[in-house]
Structure 1
Amino acid sequence: MRANSRFEHVQPIGLDVVAAAAGNDPDVLRLENLDTDVPPPPAAVEATTRSLAECSGNSWLPLTGLPELCQAVAADLRVRTGLDYDPVRQIAITSGGMSAFMPVLMSTTEPGDPVVLTDPTYAGLLQRVRLSGARPHLVPLRVIDGHWRLDREALAEVRSAAALLLMSPSMPSGVVFDRADWAVIAQVCERTGAYLIYDAAMERIVFDGHPRINPCRVDGLAERTIIVGSVSKEYRMIGWRIGWVAGPPDIMSRVMLATIYNTTVSGGFAQLGAAAALREPSGVAEAVAEYQARHDTVVAQLDGLPVVRAGGGWSCLVDAEALGLTATELSDRLLERGRVAATPMTAWGVSVAPRYVRLVFSNEPVKRLGELRSRFEAALP
């Protein structure tokens, strides 16, 4: 096979390997993948079913999204950001949030351009930067008083960047940026002329009263922020595979063209279901309360072990090296001895992430998570 430089530093995501090793054993605690058993909004299910029955949305057009969904996204963003997005010129519908990032990266970077991410960050973001031909510049997260914090000093040292690709709450750490974090981010964007590519997929899934700050409400960021959202996490609609990109009109003309050539069009049936989720009561607050209960159960079960609290999201991290193991060794031991499927973070960063194992609490109820301590004890040396 001929060499291809785009793949030189791209790493496998890892969670699929763990999932395959776990198989279908019902005894295994499934903490390796970002699935959820919390049901999607009933209105979304009903609208999707009705669309299938009526065969509405069964078309290639419009290539960048059905007007009904683009308008619903614009209305939702107006509440979150305080901005009025033109549904035609400033919003593109994508096949899930993740499929949006390659068109956005292709539209905002040249080969070799630095793109700032945190370490840890979602492997799907880090590896897409590498595949796009851009160059990741990783800024570490630090554990302070048992919580993740952005290393603002390290971020402030960034002198060159085409984009900052950030998420809050972030996968896999669950870090939530506060106003001081966003202020430093704004300063870096202004100094470097970078876009902020903001993954908003978990924006409302925050715990413990953390402030929920949309960057478009931070001075200096609205005019340079490209928002990527989806119905997968807040609305528990993973299988619909519907996301969107919203941003300034000039860059969105490129993003729309790249999106069309990337996926042509997102599924019309699913788009109509997503529009219903955005318009109708969605159960986000109830889902967040359930996720917080699960997160708190995990932390309580692992009291005394090096688990880091999440500020939000669907997962938290355990420091394998603090237990005298590599992340891969801990992952293997947890599955073989404790019947816990958990993904090592070897592809989710460079200096920080590889020492951690991720525990996803979104797909297991509190009762089952109450077994986590005994399962860890069975796995540890």
Structure 2
Amino acid sequence: MTSSSPALVSKAPHMGTTIFSVMSALAAEKKAVNLGQGFPDFACDSQLTDLVGQAMREGHNQYPPMPGVASLREAVAAKIEALYGRRYNANTEITVTAGATQAILAIVLAIVHPGDEVIVLEPCYDSYVPNIELAGGRVVRVPLTPGSFRPDFEQIQAAIGPRTRAILINSPHNPSGMVWTREEMHQLQDILAPTDIVLISDEVYEHMVYAPLQHWSAAHFDGLAARAFIVSSFGKTYHVTGWKVGTVAAPAAYTAELRKVHQFMVFTVNTPMQHALARYMQDPAPYLQLPAFYQRKRDLFRAGLAATHFKLLPSEGTYFQCVDISGLLVPEKNLSEADFCQWLTTDIGVAAIPLSAFYGNGFDQKVIRFCFAKTDETLHAALHKLQGL
């Protein structure tokens, strides 16, 4: 006699496989150049991996403190103060997380009650909405301005209601590469000032902002910092996305609530890597030099794309370049963004991501996203294929 499994009622009936996994699998199947998923295809600094081995040999292989290794939290607090002029208490206001995605889920679960509303600005990273829904919250979608992807403050103001618990922003912005200006951060501060709304500021690309612009962290602004969870990522900064180590800076009362969830979600984060990162951070050069490093790759990629019929959109920050595909002549006319990316991967041999995947309603504006966090050889190989369009 065989037994059947009891039926489950899904908590996430509308959640499918992330577009990044889908396109990376297709790229591997077709042996295409993968400019879709946002990860480097080059090695990190060997000094950093050497420091991991050193930490292991020194015996840092057991559980670290739940909030993170003290020396790493102190290094993060010192960096924030040096760059953004705000001192966070390393003991009570800095938490090491298992990457930024875990950080955001932990924040949402800590502060969002069933029925609370959370404003997200679309297009947005694909974990935001599922996080809010898993917490029992209601997602309130506000579109960024199509084309420029700048925040529309009239629509943000109109979206605020009595149940609004939080707003989630992302600068530099994935997928568009837009960077919030100082004036825009001030406008957000003014809008939130009379409210009790919490700010979740996703700043994982903070060290990828291109001259003459600069990154304006929520930590720069008294009125934002007082209500903000600020999320950062070592994976993005040091080319180690697979390590999944991030941080959250927040006022002590906020941090206490975050840690209640964090401790029962992952408890702690990889010990030897935390010790290695703490030592590596003593030299600020790697993150201070990162904008120039990626700006050169961006400019190389943009120069190559200029020889195609793609229309280049601005790339102010991140390691993403968005392009308008409406001017391309392809075998099948009027392809959707998603179908175009499938065709581009299968027939041309270059994988990209449709921007429609970052909208709840699949809004199709004929724009796709490439990742240029690749070796020059990879970029040249992709450009050779794309210039044949």
TM-score (norm 1): 0.89
- 1:105 and 1:132 in contact (8 A); partners too: yes
Once residues 70 and 259 of structure 1 are traced to their aligned partners in structure 2, the CA distance between those partners, rounded to angstroms, is: 16
Hey, what does 1:112 align to over in structure 2?
115
Partner SS, residue 237 of structure 2: coil
Once residues 2 and 321 of structure 1 are traced to their aligned partners in structure 2, the CA distance between those partners, rounded to angstroms, is: 44
Show CA shifts across 1:214-259 (max 9, x none). Answer: 1222241121111111201122222222111121111211101100
Which of 345, 352, 357 is residue 335 of structure 1 equivalent to? 345
Which amino acid in the other structure matches residue 181 of structure 1?
A: E
Deviation at 1:212, TM superposition (A): 1.9
Which amino acid in the other structure matches residue 311 of structure 2?
A: P
- 2:100 and 2:247 in contact (8 A); partners too: yes
Hey, what does 1:154 align to over in structure 2?
155
Which amino acid in the other structure matches residue 2 of structure 1?
A: L
Residue 352 to residue 178, structure 1, CA distance change in 2 (3 Å) = farther
Which amino acid in the other structure matches residue 34 of structure 2?
A: R
Say yes or no: does 1:363 pair with 2:374. Answer: yes
- 2:126 and 2:358 in contact (8 A); partners too: yes
Say yes or no: does 1:49 pair with 2:53. Answer: yes
Which of 305, 313, 319 is residue 314 of structure 1 equivalent to? 319
Mapping of residues 218-367 of structure 1, within 5 Å? 218-303=221-306, 304-320=309-325, 324-350=334-360, 354-355=364-365, 356-365=367-376, 367=377
Hey, what does 2:98 align to over in structure 1?
95
Say yes or no: does 1:3 pair with 2:9. Answer: yes
- 1:321 and 1:327 in contact (8 A); partners too: no
Residue 45 to residue 368, structure 1, CA distance change in 2 (3 Å) = closer
- 2:64 and 2:269 in contact (8 A); partners too: no
Larger radius of gyration: 2
- 2:110 and 2:260 in contact (8 A); partners too: no
- 1:81 and 1:216 in contact (8 A); partners too: yes
Deviation at 1:267, TM superposition (A): 0.7
- 1:207 and 1:311 in contact (8 A); partners too: yes
Say yes or no: does 1:375 pair with 2:385. Answer: yes
Residue 50 to residue 256, structure 1, CA distance change in 2 (3 Å) = same
Hey, what does 1:140 align to over in structure 2?
143
Which amino acid in the other structure matches residue 156 of structure 1?
A: Q
Once residues 51 and 377 of structure 1 are traced to their aligned partners in structure 2, the CA distance between those partners, rounded to angstroms, is: 47
Show CA shifts across 1:95-116 (max 9, x none). Answer: 1121111110012211232212
Show CA shifts across 1:293-352 (max 9, x none). Answer: 222233333334233221110112234566532111111111111100112234312357
Please list every run of 5 or more consecutive structure 2 residues that lacks an aligned counterpart in the other structure: 1-6, 329-333
Partner SS, residue 150 of structure 1: coil
Which amino acid in the other structure matches residue 128 of structure 2?
A: L
Cα RMSD (Å) of the superposition? Answer: 2.4
Which amino acid in the other structure matches residue 151 of structure 1?
A: D
Which amino acid in the other structure matches residue 306 of structure 1?
A: K
Please list every run of 5 or more consecutive structure 1 residues that lacks an aligned counterpart in the other structure: none
Which amino acid in the other structure matches residue 370 of structure 2?
A: L
Once residues 302 and 39 of structure 2 are traced to their aligned partners in structure 1, the CA distance between those partners, rounded to angstroms, is: 20
Aligned residues: 373
Which of 189, 209, 214 is residue 206 of structure 1 equivalent to? 209
Which amino acid in the other structure matches residue 154 of structure 1?
A: Q
- 1:12 and 1:347 in contact (8 A); partners too: no
Hey, what does 1:126 align to over in structure 2?
129
Partner SS, residue 358 of structure 2: coil
Which amino acid in the other structure matches residue 353 of structure 2?
A: T
Residue 79 to residue 186, structure 1, CA distance change in 2 (3 Å) = same
Residue 352 to residue 157, structure 1, CA distance change in 2 (3 Å) = farther
Once residues 258 and 282 of structure 1 are traced to their aligned partners in structure 2, the CA distance between those partners, rounded to angstroms, is: 34
Residue 95 to residue 362, structure 1, CA distance change in 2 (3 Å) = same
Which of 39, 43, 46 is residue 35 of structure 1 equivalent to? 39
Once residues 64 and 303 of structure 2 are traced to their aligned partners in structure 1, the CA distance between those partners, rounded to angstroms, is: 50
Residue 24 to residue 271, structure 1, CA distance change in 2 (3 Å) = farther
Once residues 119 and 101 of structure 1 are traced to their aligned partners in structure 2, the CA distance between those partners, rounded to angstroms, is: 17
Show CA shifts across 1:105-141 (max 9, x none). Answer: 0122112322122211111223322332222222222
